[in-house]
Amino acid sequence: MVDTSFQQFARKALKKKMTGWAIDIALLPVAIPLLIVRYVFRIKFFRIHGSRFGHLAMHNEVFLRREQLGLLKKKRVKYIGLAPSSVCNQRLLDMFKRKLTIIQFPQPRLIRTITKIMSEKSILSKWDIFVVLPYDVGYFPEYNQAKPSIVFTYSDEKEGKELLNRMGILDNKWYICFHARDSAYVGSLLKRGDSRYIYRNSTIENFFSAVDYITKQNGYAVRMGSKVGEKLPEWNNPYIIDYSSSYRTELGDMYVPAKCKFLIGTGSGIESIASIFNIPTIRTNMVPLSPLIPHFKLNHFPPGKHDLFIPKKIWSKEKKRFLTFKEEIEFDTHFSFDGVEYEKAGLVPMENTPKELLALTIEMNQRLDGTWVGTKEDEELQRRFKSLFVHEGKRYEFSARIGAVFLRENKPLLE
């Protein structure tokens, strides 16, 4: 007797296949003239993911940097982007419009879904008419070799400086940005809320020791975020600024990170803004650890050679200990990006502690100031950590460094 689960799997696969055939047949009348346009006028279309900051920033910036460095396989092709009329930040899209041809039009949920299918899984994508911009798993040397693709205009600079002045950050004063992912932003976007990704969240209070250190170094600390779950507490400290609650503007979302010394984040879109302007970033509470998640194309580690990160450690209820990095990578390789899988496996992602975040912040600040003193052991630990990322015989390369103090204190996890 055939197993019921296999029957369900087969029915689902067949339904998916038939849906794909139906879409391709429906697109044929459009595909043929577009194919002619594709070869006569050398035009390709691409979809712009407009609802998420990170996707809007990184997809387009990676493409432009590869074009800048001559890394695109097909030259002299005219790319035309299709974007929804309402995006997460219109000012950012307008900056990209100075470099790319982008057409905006209303895209309700059904149209967005159809556009996604056309760009990834339809006859249009198979015929190379509709393409996905390069944002795949891999090493991004363009972040260490190319200049930022977009720049601020004179009026942008004027508006941005006025914003910094209103925040109390006067000329020649340095500052850092910090952000902790919570459910406020993504929860407002998705129909099902943020429940599947809540394991990626972290507590803003854990960053306060790091923030206090920055202010004691005579730097300002600016809390970022277009939507946040809670305001910062009332501090009698003018060096700590809650931008997200009191000063947020569309231009400020780009300008403030673009001018900071470095940004401390948790793998959210705001980090991408710092990255596209070549600002060093610290990625904390990184989870999952492995970039080799099936069916996902992730720019997983922060891209710059000056970037730092530390992951969440994963507690195993069954083993009654933390998973080693190797065990965590093996789990992630079969992971679907849904937090339910952690629960099923009896695994608990543990937030980085205030002490860990402080140590990482000190390391970044001292590295940028040229006062950081590392050891030979630090370099050996880095080498051992990076050697763990091998999949099907291929080593996954990345430029960023895992925090030195974090590795020293978690050497057993390298076994």
For the stretch 27-46, pLDDT in tens is 888 888 888 888 888 899 99
| pLDDT-derived band at 137, boundaries 50, 70, 90 | very low
Separation CA 160–CA 237 (nearest Å): 23
Residue 177 predicted with pLDDT over 70: yes
User: What's the CA angle centered on 378, arms 375 and 380, to 5 degrees?
Assistant: 115
Domain boundaries, the chain: 9-135, 143-414
Number of other residues whose CB lies within 10 A of the CB of residue 241: 24
Among the four given CATH numbers 1.25.40, 1.10.287, 3.40.50, 1.10.10, the one describing domain 9-135: 3.40.50
CA dist list (Å): 187 to 155, 184, 193, 226: 34, 5, 4, 13
Q: Is the pLDDT of residue 168 over 60?
A: yes
Average pLDDT rounded to a whole number, residues 346-360: 96
Is residue 15 over pLDDT 80? Answer: no
Is 60 exceeded by the pLDDT of residue 233? Answer: yes
pLDDT of residue 310: 96
Q: Which residue has the higher pLDDT, 49 or 213?
A: 213
pLDDT of residue 263: 98
Q: Give the position of tokens 């809540």.
A: 198
Count of CB atoms within 10 A of residue 136's CB?
12
Q: What is the mean pLDDT of residues 337-361?
A: 91
Q: Which two tokens stand for residue 74?
A: 């097909």
Whether domain 143-414 has CATH 3.40.50.2000: the reply is yes
Label residue 10 by pLDDT band (50, 70, 90).
Answer: low
- Among 279-288, 336-345, 367-376, name the one with the lowest average pLDDT: 336-345
* Predicted confidence (pLDDT) at residue 287 exceeds the cutoff of 50: yes
Work out whether the CA dihedral 49, 55, 61, 65 comes out positive or negative: negative
pTM higher than the cut 0.85: yes
Which tokens go with 222? Answer: 């600016």
How many helices and strands in the chain, by DSSP H and E? 17, 16
Q: Could you read off the pLDDT of 360-399 as tens digits, one per residue?
A: 999 999 999 999 999 999 999 999 999 998 877 777 788 8
Residue 153 has pLDDT above 50, yes or no: yes
Q: Does the pLDDT of residue 297 top 50, yes or no?
A: no
For residue 396, the tally of other CB atoms under 10 A from its CB is: 18
